A and B are shown apart, each in its own frame.
Chain A
Amino acid sequence: MSERGRTYDDDDAALAGEYVLRLMSAEEERAFAARLDGDAALRREVALWQEALGELGADVEPVDPPARVLAAVEARLFEGGEGRQSAGGDRGWRGLLARPWAAVMLAAAAIALVAFLTVAVLRPFVDPVLVADLGSDSGDFLVEVSVDAQTGQGRLERQAGGPPPGRVMQLWILPEGADGPTSLGILPDAGPYDFIVPADLRDALGGALVEVSEEPPGGSPQDGPTGEVLGLGRLGRD
Protein backbone atom coordinates (compact mmCIF):
# COMPACT_ATOMS: atom_id res chain seq x y z
CA MET A 1 0.00 0.00 0.00
CA SER A 2 2.15 2.88 1.14
CA GLU A 3 5.38 2.08 -0.59
CA ARG A 4 8.49 4.26 -0.71
CA GLY A 5 7.42 6.20 2.34
CA ARG A 6 4.39 7.67 0.63
CA THR A 7 2.10 9.28 3.17
CA TYR A 8 -1.10 8.19 1.50
CA ASP A 9 -2.70 5.16 -0.11
CA ASP A 10 -2.26 5.21 -3.90
CA ASP A 11 -5.64 3.63 -4.62
CA ASP A 12 -7.48 5.86 -2.18
CA ALA A 13 -5.80 8.91 -3.67
CA ALA A 14 -7.10 7.97 -7.12
CA LEU A 15 -10.55 7.20 -5.69
CA ALA A 16 -10.67 10.59 -3.98
CA GLY A 17 -9.71 12.21 -7.29
CA GLU A 18 -12.47 10.33 -9.11
CA TYR A 19 -14.91 11.39 -6.42
CA VAL A 20 -14.02 15.07 -6.71
CA LEU A 21 -14.08 14.89 -10.51
CA ARG A 22 -17.53 13.25 -10.21
CA LEU A 23 -16.51 10.27 -12.32
CA MET A 24 -18.21 7.78 -10.00
CA SER A 25 -21.72 6.45 -10.43
CA ALA A 26 -24.33 7.73 -7.97
CA GLU A 27 -24.03 4.46 -6.08
CA GLU A 28 -20.23 4.61 -5.89
CA GLU A 29 -20.47 8.22 -4.77
CA ARG A 30 -22.77 7.29 -1.91
CA ALA A 31 -20.49 4.46 -0.81
CA PHE A 32 -17.44 6.70 -0.92
CA ALA A 33 -19.21 9.51 0.98
CA ALA A 34 -20.12 6.98 3.68
CA ARG A 35 -16.45 6.02 4.02
CA LEU A 36 -15.43 9.68 4.33
CA ASP A 37 -17.25 10.11 7.64
CA GLY A 38 -14.89 7.93 9.61
CA ASP A 39 -11.66 8.38 7.67
CA ALA A 40 -9.63 11.53 8.21
CA ALA A 41 -6.89 10.48 5.77
CA LEU A 42 -9.47 10.05 3.04
CA ARG A 43 -11.04 13.42 3.84
CA ARG A 44 -7.58 14.93 3.50
CA GLU A 45 -7.26 13.41 0.03
CA VAL A 46 -10.63 14.86 -0.98
CA ALA A 47 -9.67 18.31 0.33
CA LEU A 48 -6.41 18.11 -1.56
CA TRP A 49 -8.09 17.29 -4.86
CA GLN A 50 -10.74 19.93 -4.38
CA GLU A 51 -8.09 22.53 -3.86
CA ALA A 52 -5.74 21.35 -6.61
CA LEU A 53 -8.45 20.86 -9.22
CA GLY A 54 -10.24 24.03 -8.13
CA GLU A 55 -7.45 25.86 -9.90
CA LEU A 56 -8.78 24.58 -13.19
CA GLY A 57 -12.14 26.12 -12.43
CA ALA A 58 -10.56 29.40 -11.38
CA ASP A 59 -8.92 29.67 -14.81
CA VAL A 60 -12.23 29.61 -16.70
CA GLU A 61 -12.97 32.82 -18.61
CA PRO A 62 -15.81 34.61 -16.74
CA VAL A 63 -19.19 35.22 -18.42
CA ASP A 64 -21.53 37.89 -17.06
CA PRO A 65 -24.91 36.39 -16.16
CA PRO A 66 -28.04 38.44 -17.00
CA ALA A 67 -29.38 40.67 -14.22
CA ARG A 68 -32.53 38.55 -13.87
CA VAL A 69 -30.55 35.80 -12.14
CA LEU A 70 -29.66 37.92 -9.11
CA ALA A 71 -33.20 39.30 -9.08
CA ALA A 72 -34.57 35.75 -8.98
CA VAL A 73 -32.14 34.71 -6.23
CA GLU A 74 -33.10 37.69 -4.08
CA ALA A 75 -36.79 37.12 -4.70
CA ARG A 76 -36.44 33.52 -3.55
CA LEU A 77 -34.39 34.37 -0.49
CA PHE A 78 -35.77 37.68 0.73
CA GLU A 79 -39.32 38.18 -0.48
CA GLY A 80 -42.22 37.22 1.71
CA GLY A 81 -40.05 36.46 4.70
CA GLU A 82 -36.69 36.87 6.24
CA GLY A 83 -34.20 34.77 4.31
CA ARG A 84 -32.82 32.25 6.71
CA GLN A 85 -35.28 32.82 9.55
CA SER A 86 -36.57 29.84 11.43
CA ALA A 87 -40.28 29.13 11.65
CA GLY A 88 -40.24 30.44 15.22
CA GLY A 89 -39.97 34.03 14.02
CA ASP A 90 -38.79 36.54 16.63
CA ARG A 91 -35.60 35.20 18.05
CA GLY A 92 -34.17 38.48 19.32
CA TRP A 93 -34.39 39.68 22.89
CA ARG A 94 -36.73 42.41 21.77
CA GLY A 95 -39.14 39.84 20.35
CA LEU A 96 -38.79 37.73 23.48
CA LEU A 97 -39.57 40.59 25.85
CA ALA A 98 -42.68 41.43 23.86
CA ARG A 99 -44.25 38.17 24.92
CA PRO A 100 -46.11 37.73 28.22
CA TRP A 101 -44.45 34.46 29.16
CA ALA A 102 -41.03 35.90 28.54
CA ALA A 103 -40.57 37.18 32.09
CA VAL A 104 -41.13 33.68 33.46
CA MET A 105 -38.70 32.25 30.94
CA LEU A 106 -36.10 34.86 31.76
CA ALA A 107 -36.45 34.23 35.47
CA ALA A 108 -36.01 30.50 34.86
CA ALA A 109 -33.00 31.25 32.69
CA ALA A 110 -31.52 33.41 35.44
CA ILE A 111 -31.94 30.60 37.99
CA ALA A 112 -30.36 28.16 35.55
CA LEU A 113 -27.51 30.61 35.06
CA VAL A 114 -26.81 30.82 38.79
CA ALA A 115 -26.84 27.02 39.01
CA PHE A 116 -24.55 26.81 36.00
CA LEU A 117 -22.12 29.35 37.43
CA THR A 118 -21.97 27.46 40.71
CA VAL A 119 -21.06 24.27 38.88
CA ALA A 120 -18.61 26.13 36.66
CA VAL A 121 -16.76 27.56 39.66
CA LEU A 122 -16.38 24.12 41.23
CA ARG A 123 -15.03 22.59 38.02
CA PRO A 124 -11.29 21.97 37.61
CA PHE A 125 -9.72 24.92 35.88
CA VAL A 126 -9.50 24.85 32.09
CA ASP A 127 -8.86 28.12 30.33
CA PRO A 128 -12.28 28.83 28.88
CA VAL A 129 -11.52 32.23 27.37
CA LEU A 130 -12.06 32.68 23.67
CA VAL A 131 -10.97 35.79 21.82
CA ALA A 132 -11.54 37.44 18.48
CA ASP A 133 -10.20 40.56 16.80
CA LEU A 134 -12.95 42.19 14.80
CA GLY A 135 -11.36 44.26 12.09
CA SER A 136 -12.29 45.86 8.81
CA ASP A 137 -10.67 45.33 5.42
CA SER A 138 -9.11 48.78 5.52
CA GLY A 139 -7.79 48.43 9.07
CA ASP A 140 -9.52 51.62 10.26
CA PHE A 141 -11.82 49.66 12.55
CA LEU A 142 -10.72 47.27 15.27
CA VAL A 143 -12.23 45.95 18.46
CA GLU A 144 -11.11 43.02 20.60
CA VAL A 145 -13.66 40.64 22.05
CA SER A 146 -13.06 38.03 24.74
CA VAL A 147 -15.66 35.61 26.07
CA ASP A 148 -15.51 33.13 28.91
CA ALA A 149 -17.16 30.09 27.34
CA GLN A 150 -18.21 28.71 30.74
CA THR A 151 -19.83 31.77 32.26
CA GLY A 152 -20.71 33.54 29.04
CA GLN A 153 -19.17 36.74 30.36
CA GLY A 154 -17.61 38.81 27.66
CA ARG A 155 -15.86 42.09 27.15
CA LEU A 156 -15.30 44.22 24.11
CA GLU A 157 -12.41 46.70 23.97
CA ARG A 158 -12.35 49.35 21.30
CA GLN A 159 -9.05 49.93 19.53
CA ALA A 160 -9.89 51.97 16.45
CA GLY A 161 -12.86 53.38 14.60
CA GLY A 162 -16.48 54.04 15.47
CA PRO A 163 -19.94 54.42 13.96
CA PRO A 164 -20.85 57.10 11.41
CA PRO A 165 -22.50 60.24 12.86
CA GLY A 166 -26.00 59.59 14.18
CA ARG A 167 -25.56 55.82 14.25
CA VAL A 168 -24.80 53.29 17.00
CA MET A 169 -22.73 50.12 17.08
CA GLN A 170 -24.35 46.76 17.78
CA LEU A 171 -22.57 43.52 18.65
CA TRP A 172 -23.74 40.20 17.17
CA ILE A 173 -22.83 36.57 17.55
CA LEU A 174 -23.51 33.60 15.30
CA PRO A 175 -22.39 30.22 16.68
CA GLU A 176 -21.83 27.47 14.16
CA GLY A 177 -25.02 25.75 13.18
CA ALA A 178 -27.22 28.57 14.51
CA ASP A 179 -30.16 29.72 12.43
CA GLY A 180 -29.19 33.35 12.55
CA PRO A 181 -27.29 35.97 14.52
CA THR A 182 -28.17 36.96 18.09
CA SER A 183 -27.68 40.50 19.33
CA LEU A 184 -25.30 40.95 22.25
CA GLY A 185 -26.39 44.54 22.68
CA ILE A 186 -25.55 48.09 21.70
CA LEU A 187 -22.13 49.47 22.50
CA PRO A 188 -21.72 52.55 24.70
CA ASP A 189 -20.36 55.71 23.06
CA ALA A 190 -16.93 55.11 24.50
CA GLY A 191 -14.95 52.70 26.63
CA PRO A 192 -15.17 48.93 27.00
CA TYR A 193 -18.46 47.04 26.81
CA ASP A 194 -19.32 44.10 29.05
CA PHE A 195 -21.90 41.58 27.88
CA ILE A 196 -23.25 38.11 28.62
CA VAL A 197 -23.66 35.42 25.98
CA PRO A 198 -27.03 33.68 26.50
CA ALA A 199 -26.63 30.23 28.07
CA ASP A 200 -28.09 28.36 25.11
CA LEU A 201 -25.34 29.67 22.84
CA ARG A 202 -22.38 28.84 25.08
CA ASP A 203 -21.84 25.26 24.00
CA ALA A 204 -20.86 26.22 20.48
CA LEU A 205 -18.77 29.34 21.03
CA GLY A 206 -15.53 28.02 19.51
CA GLY A 207 -15.44 29.23 15.91
CA ALA A 208 -18.53 31.42 16.37
CA LEU A 209 -18.69 34.50 14.17
CA VAL A 210 -18.78 37.80 16.04
CA GLU A 211 -19.37 41.12 14.38
CA VAL A 212 -20.07 44.78 15.02
CA SER A 213 -22.50 46.54 12.71
CA GLU A 214 -23.58 50.17 12.57
CA GLU A 215 -27.31 50.62 13.16
CA PRO A 216 -29.92 53.33 13.72
CA PRO A 217 -30.22 54.68 17.30
CA GLY A 218 -31.88 52.01 19.45
CA GLY A 219 -30.36 49.21 17.41
CA SER A 220 -31.33 47.13 14.42
CA PRO A 221 -35.07 46.99 13.78
CA GLN A 222 -34.66 43.38 12.67
CA ASP A 223 -33.36 40.12 14.11
CA GLY A 224 -30.08 40.60 12.31
CA PRO A 225 -27.78 43.45 11.36
CA THR A 226 -29.22 45.94 8.88
CA GLY A 227 -26.35 48.42 8.58
CA GLU A 228 -22.80 48.10 7.35
CA VAL A 229 -20.62 45.55 9.09
CA LEU A 230 -17.77 47.49 10.69
CA GLY A 231 -15.68 44.58 11.91
CA LEU A 232 -15.92 40.82 12.03
CA GLY A 233 -13.98 37.86 13.37
CA ARG A 234 -14.20 34.33 14.73
CA LEU A 235 -13.84 33.30 18.36
CA GLY A 236 -10.85 31.09 19.05
CA ARG A 237 -8.20 30.38 21.68
CA ASP A 238 -5.60 33.08 21.99
Chain B
Amino acid sequence: MTVAEPEAAGAGRRAEHERLERLIARTAMADRAAFRDLYAATAPKLFAICLRILSDRAEAEDALQEVYVRIWSRAQTFRPGGRSPMTWLIAIARNHAIDRLRSRSSRAEDDAPLPELVDPAPDPEAETMAAELRGRIAACLDELPVERATAVRAAYLEGSTYRELAARFDVPLNTMRTWLRRSLQSLRRCLER
Protein backbone atom coordinates (compact mmCIF):
# COMPACT_ATOMS: atom_id res chain seq x y z
CA MET B 1 0.00 0.00 0.00
CA THR B 2 2.94 2.32 0.46
CA VAL B 3 5.45 3.42 -2.12
CA ALA B 4 8.12 1.30 -0.47
CA GLU B 5 6.13 -1.87 -0.89
CA PRO B 6 7.53 -3.16 -4.19
CA GLU B 7 11.04 -2.88 -2.79
CA ALA B 8 10.03 -4.58 0.45
CA ALA B 9 8.28 -7.32 -1.52
CA GLY B 10 11.41 -7.75 -3.64
CA ALA B 11 13.55 -8.05 -0.54
CA GLY B 12 11.14 -10.52 1.03
CA ARG B 13 11.21 -12.57 -2.11
CA ARG B 14 14.98 -12.56 -2.22
CA ALA B 15 15.14 -13.63 1.43
CA GLU B 16 12.72 -16.48 0.73
CA HIS B 17 14.72 -17.41 -2.36
CA GLU B 18 17.93 -17.58 -0.29
CA ARG B 19 16.23 -19.55 2.45
CA LEU B 20 15.01 -22.16 -0.04
CA GLU B 21 18.46 -22.35 -1.65
CA ARG B 22 19.96 -23.01 1.74
CA LEU B 23 17.37 -25.65 2.60
CA ILE B 24 17.98 -27.42 -0.70
CA ALA B 25 21.74 -27.30 -0.14
CA ARG B 26 21.31 -28.76 3.36
CA THR B 27 18.99 -31.40 2.00
CA ALA B 28 21.80 -32.29 -0.42
CA MET B 29 23.92 -32.92 2.67
CA ALA B 30 21.34 -35.46 3.86
CA ASP B 31 20.06 -33.08 6.56
CA ARG B 32 16.66 -34.49 7.42
CA ALA B 33 15.52 -31.52 9.48
CA ALA B 34 16.25 -29.19 6.56
CA PHE B 35 14.36 -31.52 4.25
CA ARG B 36 11.37 -31.36 6.58
CA ASP B 37 11.58 -27.56 6.61
CA LEU B 38 11.82 -27.53 2.84
CA TYR B 39 8.73 -29.74 2.69
CA ALA B 40 6.82 -27.49 5.09
CA ALA B 41 7.73 -24.40 3.06
CA THR B 42 6.97 -25.78 -0.39
CA ALA B 43 4.64 -28.81 -0.26
CA PRO B 44 1.35 -26.82 -0.30
CA LYS B 45 2.42 -25.14 -3.53
CA LEU B 46 3.63 -28.36 -5.15
CA PHE B 47 0.52 -30.22 -3.97
CA ALA B 48 -1.67 -27.55 -5.59
CA ILE B 49 0.24 -28.01 -8.84
CA CYS B 50 -0.14 -31.81 -8.74
CA LEU B 51 -3.86 -31.39 -8.01
CA ARG B 52 -4.36 -29.00 -10.90
CA ILE B 53 -2.74 -31.40 -13.33
CA LEU B 54 -4.08 -34.71 -12.03
CA SER B 55 -7.49 -33.48 -10.73
CA ASP B 56 -7.60 -36.45 -8.37
CA ARG B 57 -6.70 -36.07 -4.72
CA ALA B 58 -5.44 -39.57 -4.04
CA GLU B 59 -3.27 -39.55 -7.13
CA ALA B 60 -1.99 -36.07 -6.36
CA GLU B 61 -0.93 -37.34 -2.94
CA ASP B 62 0.97 -40.24 -4.51
CA ALA B 63 2.56 -37.86 -6.97
CA LEU B 64 3.60 -35.46 -4.20
CA GLN B 65 5.20 -38.32 -2.30
CA GLU B 66 7.26 -39.30 -5.33
CA VAL B 67 8.15 -35.66 -6.00
CA TYR B 68 9.73 -35.23 -2.56
CA VAL B 69 11.61 -38.52 -2.84
CA ARG B 70 13.09 -37.08 -6.06
CA ILE B 71 13.81 -33.73 -4.47
CA TRP B 72 15.76 -35.53 -1.75
CA SER B 73 17.86 -37.46 -4.22
CA ARG B 74 18.35 -34.62 -6.71
CA ALA B 75 19.08 -31.85 -4.24
CA GLN B 76 22.79 -32.19 -5.02
CA THR B 77 22.22 -31.20 -8.62
CA PHE B 78 20.64 -27.85 -7.76
CA ARG B 79 22.95 -24.92 -8.46
CA PRO B 80 22.20 -21.86 -6.40
CA GLY B 81 22.90 -18.36 -7.54
CA GLY B 82 20.73 -17.82 -10.57
CA ARG B 83 17.62 -19.80 -11.17
CA SER B 84 14.81 -19.58 -8.68
CA PRO B 85 14.74 -22.56 -6.31
CA MET B 86 10.94 -22.48 -6.41
CA THR B 87 11.00 -22.80 -10.20
CA TRP B 88 13.31 -25.78 -9.86
CA LEU B 89 10.97 -27.47 -7.38
CA ILE B 90 7.89 -26.65 -9.44
CA ALA B 91 9.49 -28.14 -12.56
CA ILE B 92 10.12 -31.43 -10.72
CA ALA B 93 6.50 -31.54 -9.47
CA ARG B 94 4.94 -30.48 -12.72
CA ASN B 95 6.96 -32.89 -14.84
CA HIS B 96 6.21 -35.81 -12.58
CA ALA B 97 2.48 -35.02 -12.47
CA ILE B 98 2.40 -34.75 -16.26
CA ASP B 99 4.28 -38.06 -16.62
CA ARG B 100 1.62 -39.68 -14.45
CA LEU B 101 -1.18 -38.08 -16.39
CA ARG B 102 0.28 -39.34 -19.65
CA SER B 103 0.98 -42.86 -18.41
CA ARG B 104 -2.66 -43.04 -17.32
CA SER B 105 -3.78 -42.81 -20.94
CA SER B 106 -0.93 -44.64 -22.64
CA ARG B 107 -1.14 -48.43 -22.53
CA ALA B 108 1.47 -51.12 -22.09
CA GLU B 109 2.26 -50.83 -25.81
CA ASP B 110 4.92 -48.30 -24.93
CA ASP B 111 7.16 -50.01 -22.41
CA ALA B 112 9.81 -47.35 -22.61
CA PRO B 113 9.71 -45.13 -19.52
CA LEU B 114 8.73 -41.57 -20.23
CA PRO B 115 11.79 -39.37 -20.48
CA GLU B 116 12.83 -37.42 -17.47
CA LEU B 117 12.79 -33.80 -18.37
CA VAL B 118 16.46 -33.00 -18.75
CA ASP B 119 17.91 -30.48 -16.39
CA PRO B 120 20.01 -28.30 -18.64
CA ALA B 121 23.64 -28.17 -17.62
CA PRO B 122 24.54 -25.12 -15.57
CA ASP B 123 25.04 -22.12 -17.79
CA PRO B 124 25.78 -18.85 -16.01
CA GLU B 125 24.67 -16.77 -18.96
CA ALA B 126 21.31 -18.50 -19.09
CA GLU B 127 20.89 -18.11 -15.36
CA THR B 128 21.54 -14.39 -15.47
CA MET B 129 19.15 -13.97 -18.34
CA ALA B 130 16.50 -16.06 -16.64
CA ALA B 131 16.82 -14.00 -13.47
CA GLU B 132 16.29 -10.80 -15.42
CA LEU B 133 13.16 -12.21 -17.02
CA ARG B 134 11.55 -13.20 -13.78
CA GLY B 135 8.21 -11.55 -13.29
CA ARG B 136 7.76 -10.55 -16.91
CA ILE B 137 5.66 -13.46 -18.08
CA ALA B 138 2.35 -12.07 -16.76
CA ALA B 139 2.81 -8.76 -18.58
CA CYS B 140 3.80 -10.56 -21.77
CA LEU B 141 0.81 -12.91 -21.60
CA ASP B 142 -1.43 -9.85 -21.31
CA GLU B 143 -0.21 -8.75 -24.72
CA LEU B 144 -1.55 -11.93 -26.35
CA PRO B 145 -5.17 -12.36 -27.47
CA VAL B 146 -7.09 -13.56 -24.41
CA GLU B 147 -7.87 -17.10 -25.57
CA ARG B 148 -4.25 -17.70 -26.61
CA ALA B 149 -2.97 -16.57 -23.24
CA THR B 150 -5.53 -18.90 -21.67
CA ALA B 151 -4.27 -21.77 -23.82
CA VAL B 152 -0.66 -21.17 -22.72
CA ARG B 153 -1.75 -21.05 -19.08
CA ALA B 154 -3.81 -24.23 -19.45
CA ALA B 155 -0.87 -26.00 -21.07
CA TYR B 156 1.37 -24.99 -18.19
CA LEU B 157 -0.96 -25.36 -15.23
CA GLU B 158 -3.07 -28.30 -16.33
CA GLY B 159 -0.57 -30.12 -18.53
CA SER B 160 -3.04 -30.02 -21.43
CA THR B 161 -1.95 -31.54 -24.73
CA TYR B 162 -2.53 -29.97 -28.14
CA ARG B 163 -5.46 -32.34 -28.64
CA GLU B 164 -7.14 -31.33 -25.38
CA LEU B 165 -6.58 -27.65 -26.05
CA ALA B 166 -8.00 -28.00 -29.56
CA ALA B 167 -11.14 -29.66 -28.16
CA ARG B 168 -11.50 -27.09 -25.42
CA PHE B 169 -11.23 -24.11 -27.76
CA ASP B 170 -13.10 -25.94 -30.50
CA VAL B 171 -10.49 -25.42 -33.21
CA PRO B 172 -8.75 -28.00 -35.44
CA LEU B 173 -5.61 -29.59 -33.98
CA ASN B 174 -3.28 -27.94 -36.49
CA THR B 175 -4.81 -24.55 -35.82
CA MET B 176 -4.10 -25.01 -32.12
CA ARG B 177 -0.52 -26.00 -32.91
CA THR B 178 -0.04 -22.91 -35.04
CA TRP B 179 -1.70 -20.70 -32.40
CA LEU B 180 0.54 -21.91 -29.66
CA ARG B 181 3.75 -21.75 -31.66
CA ARG B 182 3.00 -18.19 -32.73
CA SER B 183 2.02 -17.30 -29.19
CA LEU B 184 5.31 -18.68 -27.90
CA GLN B 185 7.23 -16.70 -30.50
CA SER B 186 5.40 -13.50 -29.53
CA LEU B 187 6.00 -14.22 -25.86
CA ARG B 188 9.66 -14.83 -26.48
CA ARG B 189 10.02 -11.52 -28.31
CA CYS B 190 8.19 -9.75 -25.52
CA LEU B 191 10.38 -11.39 -22.88
CA GLU B 192 13.51 -10.14 -24.60
CA ARG B 193 12.35 -6.54 -24.84
Pick from A66-74, A94-102, A155-163 the stretch touching chain B. Answer: A66-74
Asked if B114 CB lies within 8 Å of chain A CBs, one says yes
A26 contacts which of B48, B115, B184, B191 (Cβ < 8 Å)?
B115
- Cβ of B185: which chain A residues have Cβ within 8 Å of it? 10, 13-14
Residues of B within 8 A of A69 (CB): 43, 47, 61, 64-65, 68
In the complex, are the beta carbons of A55 and B120 less than 8 A apart?
A: no
Q: Say yes or no: A73-B91 contact (C-beta < 8 A), given A43-B126, A48-B191.
A: no
Q: How far is the CA of A62 from the CA of B45 in the complex (A)?
A: 4
Residues of A within 8 A of B (CB): 6-8, 10, 13-14, 17-18, 21-23, 26, 29-30, 33, 36, 40, 43-44, 46-48, 50-66, 68-70, 72-74, 76-78, 82-84, 137, 172, 174, 176-178, 180-181, 207, 209, 211, 213, 224-225, 228-229, 232, 234
With A10-B188, A137-B19 given, can you name 19 additional A-B contacts, CB distance below 8 Å? A22-B98, A26-B106, A26-B114, A44-B120, A47-B126, A47-B129, A52-B134, A56-B137, A57-B86, A60-B45, A60-B157, A61-B48, A70-B43, A74-B32, A84-B30, A178-B76, A229-B34, A232-B29, A234-B80
The 4 closest A-B pairs by CB, nearest first: A54-B87, A62-B44, A51-B130, A17-B184
Chain B residues within CB distance 8 Å of chain A: 18-19, 22, 25-26, 28-34, 36, 39, 43-45, 47-49, 51-52, 61, 64-65, 68-69, 72-73, 76-77, 79-80, 83-84, 86-87, 90-91, 94-95, 98, 102, 106, 110, 112, 114-115, 117-118, 120-121, 123, 125-127, 129-131, 133-138, 140, 152-153, 155-157, 159, 161-162, 180-181, 184-185, 187-189, 191-192
